[in-house]
Structure 1
Amino acid sequence: MSLRASMPSLALAGALLAAGGCKNEPLTTLYELQREAPQAEWVFPPGVSVVLSPTLDVHFGEGARADRASDSRTSPSHLETRAFLRGSIPPGRSLYLALFVEPEARNSDLFIGREGEPSDRLEPGRRGYVLPLAPSTAGAVVELAAEPPRDSSLSLAAIRLCGVALVPGGWTRNAPLDSLAGERGSMLTQVGPSVVRFALPLPEGAQLRFTPAAEATAGPVRMWITLEREGSAEREIWSGAVRTGSDNSTEAVVRLGSRPGHARVALHVGGRPGEPVEATWRAPRIFGRGLKRLRPRVQGAEDKARADGLRVRLAGTNVLVVVLDAAAARHFGCYGYARPTTLNMDRLAREGVLFERAYTPAPFTIGAVSSMWTSQYPDQHHAGTRHRAPLPRERLTLAELLSARGVSTVGFVANPSAGLPFGLDRGFGEFHALYGTGGASPPGIRRAEEFRPVLRDWLSRIRGSRFFGYIHLLEPHFPYDPPHPFDRLFGRPGPMPSPARRDDGWIRRVNAGQYRPTAEEAADLVRLYDGNLAYADREVGWLRRTLAELGLLERTTLIVTSDHGESLLERGTIGHGGHLNEECIRVPLIVRFPGGRGPAGLRVHELVDLLDVAPTVADLFGALDGAAARTYEGVSLLPVVEGAPGKGVVLARTMQERPTYALNDGTWKLIHSVKSGRSELYDLADDPGEQHDLVESESLRAELMRQELYRWLRDLHREQGSATEERLTPSELETMRALGYVHSSDR
């Protein structure tokens, strides 16, 4: 088909401009496809697909560059991205990588391959590399890393992969593909034969505009576009033939359907068989109105105003946040668990508000608590440093915000990962670290009941002032060794070895696949965990009674939650940190308002997460304003309690430097590894236990969520933080060992 025959007329283009939505509302640019190309899927014959990972800030000690650092904890980081090739790679193929480099990276070394040596110094501007590929039936993973000079760092924007091409081994160019590397404005150059697939949410009446052109290629180049909508087969919606040097300035306008929904827009380039061709899509943009992205909802003025009456009724009250470490929501009676593990917290839920779908952004304590107090995602609050490192000094914590406004603040913490060694005591006027050897507890562990004297003393002293308090209980976290009678509360001792209750060596063998527990041992593990949780629940009951005795219960908003959940062999492993299934990231969230001042017996089905805790507490103290509030990614839950929408989507990540992410819109959940490039997709409405991976049968949805995840990570506002190292006292080190965080070989 000729280009002229396939072009819409100017009259038709004008009609398309007016199509969809309110006629008085102008069309806006929804996507610039040149900017979206790094998130897209690139496909080359004979069926090799290539996906580029987001650029990550990886420390030498965490990956392939570890051998280049004498001390992985203090060495600088490098930027890293990967190209994942799926399918059979035939002989004689090379991978062309289009790389964009900012001036700040000019003195960095570049690595290409899995464990390559530095090739040369990077230069400002664009670079193109051709990397020979070995034949493979299982695809390949290509790693590209930029190492800055020692004692310096690079921002995530300093170097990035912008496009790829699978080319014959002898293919050469006099210059890199400028537009792939983002150097020639909004242009996308495509080396064919190939397809670039963009999986996107589209509004009603969306349209694609571009101007086609051919690069230095002999013969005509065929360019065409296909569209796949949810529930419909892929179909061609535009095609054209262009030649090098042809003077064409007519913009094509292609309608992408009249209904909103998920879609896959694919750009195809082809030519004569066996010959690479190059074509350019100039200014390829998708226009439309009213796009709904897979991002958290932003509370508008109308939403915030819903809680005005509640704010007035709660004026002058205190706030107490109680965190139970590693408490999975699925083990709470008020969340449907059969065993009576949480009688006291169930009562709080009946007296207050229970959020049915609350999540942690990180299944590890440092990341979760940092997010809870800064209302930022782990990729933000730990930007520029390891995710095991202390919270950077530049991050404003909730306690700092409230203390600056004259609020009395105090913390009581039984886990060092939530305390002084990791900067999470910042801003508290008083901070009580209750860990190390003491009382009748196991070595390195302080049981929750040991909080009682210091807690009651502080509450007695402070009850005349307005306060914000934070209590972080260790239970039900490992060791799974509840005190009597909780060790027998849910049955007689079973076959689980006694040392396994306190020694994480047994758990490490299980997680390494060196030992497979019997069904009886698995049941015993759950019994002991539930005993730990019931013990912690007793202490929450004591706290409620103490608040009542001191006249504080009806003057205090009590928030009960967890930093993360716990895996108990549901998928063959024990613990947390490296998994993002529901048992690890769905947490309890209960808010009890002073009697008569807020809702009681309310269950909220909206999606929320721990990033919402700081804005909620700040809102209760009238401090949700100014510059501090603008750094918050979470929202106040007070409007949500009064009927405003929740987040709509939540994001979580593991603690590894090359992490796994989970993106959950309340029904569909994507789990994606940026280390392997593999995805899983679950329908939580029909499969809450995540037993049936639908990534193949729901390929469009899975790819759309993967690309939306990458766009979200790309657009997150990050400010580099100061990297510091934790300094553990002997007592803190003893506790970290008892919790399974530190082994004898680590220090």
Structure 2
Amino acid sequence: MIAMKRLSYHGHLAWLCGLGLFACGGDLPGPEENDLVVILIVDTLRQDALGCYGRENARTPRIDALAAGGTRFDQAISSSGWTLPSVASLLTGTWPAMHKATGKSTLLTPITGDLPVAAEVFGEAGFTTIGLANAAFLSPLLGLDRGFDVFDHRHAYNREIRRADETFDTALGEIAAHSGEKIFALVHVFDVHLDYDPPQGFIEPFVNGRSDPPPPLSMFQCIEMGRKGLGPLPADKRYMRGLYQGEVAFVDRAVGRFIDGLKELGRWSDTTLVLISDHGEEFWDHGGFEHGHTLFDELIRVPLIMHLPGGEARPGQSIAQSIIDTQVRSVDVMPTLFDMYNIEAPGSFVGESLLPLIAGKSRPAPPAFSQSTLYGADKLSWRVDPYQLIYDLAPDADPKYELYNFRTDPETIKDLALELPEVGENLHRDLARFYNDLKARAKGIRVPEVKNMSPSDVSKYLESIKVLGYSGREEDE
């Protein structure tokens, strides 16, 4: 666990103004009355794992109730299919090509210091900033702590995690310790990620009596059950998915406990809470397993639920829509919060506020762009309602792209590239224009030094900070 002092983002402004990425001029106005903003990131949570998104017997009553009392987005698209670029896009409000936080295997690039992050923006607006994270890919080594007054991080790998209930209890303690302060809190939980190891009481309802192999179920075991690429037997797939659902149900209970704790602290009525996932999980939907290897919807179409204080999009403006089917992006989340709290957004945040949609106003859905794979050749996704084009950047890829209608074919099974060549060519042309412009703009942004995030290298780092006395919650001066 490491606590970091906030760094001012004003040092970025001259540089951003020069690139035309910041609406310069004037001081940031102060926040509005509502004073607690919480982003809950449930790592690896598929949208269809929740009852509110249609799963039967999901056993997610607390998240379902959160959706019923707030706003649920049915077509929310992440900027990537794995953790680092996805969360970095959430925090920087821009695409992986711009923020640079990508990589392969364990060799990863941190977030560039050239762009401001949400915690800095909220901090400059008068908020105390608190972060809790539970994955090696969200490490301070990768710049995820920037802007946070307190950043409580565990270098979790698949079998070594801090459970959701402990994480939320720690978050409640931090919020209680800052009573009377405006708070921006980012809380990340890792339980749903491999290994699939739900606590007792959250296994039996989902596995139909099966117990072999016993949890925790590792990636190696799942791949073996997948018969080395042939795909798992139906009973094995149900067992894997059942253990995964048990983890989801446990996180749901922990989310409910967190909300109850906010009510006990007297903070719930002033809380804006956003629940989102960084990416989903593939269970051989398209012939593969886990995440980080494709950009199909089971990975990039994520749950997004917003609870706004008092049921108002803005003071005096009630929420008109509880379910929104218009396509939105994860990069829209922070601009929405900035809009709600009357905070001037850096121009590098490319998303659009969702408050007009929540208030019942219609708007054209912007294209949703996703990129970066952790394994194999990089891919791009270009989603323009009702089509998704997935482009393979491998030089020898054949075919170069696939085309799906996600409205008529929500599981994206039927490739329409040969059937609708004109649609595919038009989307390909638009994607190429967008991506080439993005790469041109990204050339002016510095690329940080690559970090090796393998367990052995991270262990050396953790040992070094212990020697320096930073192993607890001390302030890093």
TM-score w.r.t. length of structure 2 = 0.81
1:352-371 map, 5 Å: 352-371=70-89
Q: 1:548 Cα shift?
A: 0.6
Correspondence for 1:373 among 75, 87, 91: 91
Aligned equivalents of 1:511, 1:674: Cα separation in 2 = 27
Question: Structure 2 counterpart of 1:347, which letter?
Answer: A
Secondary structure of 1:490 counterpart: helix
* 1:322 corresponding residue in structure 2: 40
Structure 1 stretch displaced more, 474-483 or 612-621: 612-621
* Post-superposition offset of 1:637: 1.4
| 8 Å Cα contact 1:509-1:515 kept in structure 2 | no
Tell me which residue corresponds to 1:72.
Answer: none
Deviation at 1:597, TM superposition (A): 3.0
Q: CA offsets, 1:604-658, max 9 Å, x none?
A: 1111111011212222332234xx1x11211111122121425432011232584
| Structure 2 equivalent of residue 673 of structure 1 | 392
Structure 2 equivalent of residue 280 of structure 1 = none
Task: Provide the rounded CA distance (Å) in 2 between the counterparts of 1:313 and 1:645.
Answer: 26
Using the alignment, how far apart are the partners of 1:688 and 1:510 within structure 2?
26
1:73-472 aligned within 5 A: 315-382=33-100, 388-436=108-156, 443-472=159-188
Q: 1:550–1:342: structure 2 CA closer, same or farther, 3 Å change rule?
A: same
Task: Report the structure, 1 or 2, having the larger strand content.
Answer: 1
Letter in 2 for 1:585: I
Alpha-carbon distance change, 351 to 727 in structure 1, aligned in 2, over 3 angstroms: same
User: Per-residue displacement from partner, 1:245-299 (whole Å, max 9, x unpaired)?
Assistant: xxxxxxxxxxxxxxxxxxxxxxxxxxxxxxxxxxxxxxxxxxxxxxxxxxxxxxx
Displacement, 1:314?
6.0
Give the corresponding residue for 1:491. Answer: 207
| Other-structure match for 1:721 | 446
- 2:336 corresponding residue in structure 1: 616
How far residue 723 of structure 1 moved from its aligned partner, in angstroms, is 2.2
1:563 aligns with 2:282: no
| Corresponding residue of 2:297 | 582
The reply on whether 1:637 has 2:362 as its aligned counterpart is no
* Alpha-carbon distance in structure 2 between the residues aligned to 1:631 and 1:667: 28
1:386-417 C-alpha deviation (Å, 9 max, x unpaired): 78311122121111122223310000111121
Equivalent position to 1:652, from 355, 361, 370: 370
Q: Which amino acid aligns with 1:725?
A: V
Bigger relative contact order, structure 1 or 2 (CA pairs below 8 A, ≥6 apart) = 2
**Secondary structure, aligned partner of 1:588:** strand
Which ranges of structure 2 fall in alignment gaps of 5 or more residues?
1-28, 314-318, 460-477
| 1:689 maps to 2:411 | yes
Please tell me whether Structure 1 or Structure 2 has the larger radius of gyration of its CA atoms.
Answer: 1
Tell me, in whole angstroms, the C-alpha distance in 2 between the residues paired with 1:478 and 1:683: 30
Q: Rate the CA distance shift 1:585–1:538 in 2: closer, same or farther, 3 A.
A: same
Give the structure with the larger helix fraction: 2
What's the CA shift for 1:459? 1.6
Match of 1:604 among 324, 329, 336: 324
Q: 1:312 to 1:591 in 2, by over 3 A?
A: farther
> How many angstroms apart in 1 are the aligned matches of 2:191 and 2:247?
6
CA separation in 1, counterparts of 2:456 and 2:261?
Answer: 29
CA drift of 1:584 comes to: 0.9
Give distance in 1, aligned partners of 2:415 and 2:67: 33
Q: Give the paired residue count.
A: 418
Q: Secondary structure at the match of 1:489?
A: helix
Task: Work out the CA distance in 2 between the residues paired with 1:453 and 1:690.
Answer: 39
Per-residue deviation, 1:522: 0.4
Distance 2:263 2:370 in 1: 37
% same residue: 27
Match of 2:72, SS? strand
Q: Which residue of 1 aligns with 2:191?
A: 475
Distance of aligned partners of 1:313 and 1:489 in 2 relative to their CA distance in 1, 3 Å threshold: farther
Structure 1: 5+ residue runs without aligned partners?
Answer: 1-310, 735-747
Cα pair 1:353 1:600 within 8 Å, conserved: no
> What is the distance in 2 between the residues matched to 1:512 and 1:651?
33
Q: CA deviation at 1:316?
A: 3.4
TM-score (norm 1): 0.53
CA–CA distance in 1 between the matches of 2:456 and 2:179? 31
RMSD: 2.8
CA gap 1:384/1:683 in 2 versus in 1, 3 angstroms: closer
Q: Which amino acid aligns with 1:635?
A: E
* 3-state SS of paired residue (2:298): helix
Q: CA deviation at 1:315?
A: 3.7
Letter in 2 for 1:687: D
CA deviation string 1:642-675 (max 9, x = no partner): 2142543201123258411111112111111021
* Distance in 2, Cα, partners of 1:722 & 1:525: 39
Deviation track 1:49-77 (CA, whole Å, cap 9, x = no partner) reads: xxxxxxxxxxxxxxxxxxxxxxxxxxxxx
Q: Distance in 2 between matches of 1:395 and 1:463?
A: 31
Deviation for aligned residue 1:443: 4.6
1:504 aligned partner: 219
Alignment of 1:510-549 (within 5 A): 513=228, 516-549=231-264
User: Contact 2:32–2:342 (CA<8 Å) still a contact in 1?
Assistant: no
Q: In the alignment, residue 398 of structure 1 is paired with which amino acid?
A: A
SS in 2 for 1:571: coil
Q: Would the alpha carbon gap of residues 615 and 547 (structure 1) be closer, same or farther in structure 2, given more than 3 Å must change?
A: same
Which secondary structure does the structure 2 equivalent of 1:469 belong to? strand
Partners in 2 of 1:384 and 1:693 — Cα distance? 28
388 and 341 in structure 1: CA distance in 2 versus 1, 3 angstrom threshold? farther
AA matched with 1:569? W
Q: Which amino acid aligns with 1:577?
A: G
d(CA) in 2 for partners of 1:503, 1:353:
35
Residue of structure 2 equivalent to 1:591: 306
| 1:727 shift after superposition | 5.9
Asked whether the equivalents of residues 30 and 343 of structure 2 are also in contact (C-alpha less than 8 Å), the reply is: no
